Structure 1
Amino acid sequence: MSINQVRIALFEQDLQKAFSIEHLQIEDESHLHAGHAGAASGGGHFKLTIVAPEFKGLNLVARHRAVYAALNRHIPIEIHALTIHAMAPGEAAN
Structure 2
Amino acid sequence: MTNRQNRIRTALITVLTPELLEVEDESHLHAGHAGASPTGETHYSIKVWSKSFEGMNRVEIHRKINETLQSEFDSGLHALSIRIVKPNLDN
Under a length normalisation based on structure 1, what TM-score does the superposition of the two structures give?
A: 0.81
8 A Cα contact 1:44 1:81, kept in partner: yes
Paired letter, 1:51 = W
Paired letter, 1:85 = R
Q: CA RMSD of the aligned region, Å?
A: 2.2
2:45 alignment counterpart: 47
C-alpha distance in 2 between matches for 1:20 and 1:89: 14
Equivalence map 1:13-52=2 (5 Å):
13-40=10-37, 44-52=42-50
Q: 1:31 deviation in Å?
A: 0.8
Q: Residue 66 of structure 2 is aligned with which of 61, 65, 68?
A: 68
Q: Give the percent of matched residue pairs that are identical in Structure 1 and Structure 2.
A: 36
Aligned length: 88
Seen in structure 2, the aligned counterparts of structure 1 residues 9 and 40 have a Cα distance that, compared at 3 Å, is: closer
**Structure 2: segments with no counterpart, 5+ residues:** none
Consecutive aligned runs of 4 or more in structure 1 exceeding 3 Å deviation: 40-43, 87-91
Under a length normalisation based on structure 2, what TM-score does the superposition of the two structures give?
A: 0.83
1:7 alignment counterpart: 4
C-alpha distance in 2 between matches for 1:54 and 1:84: 16
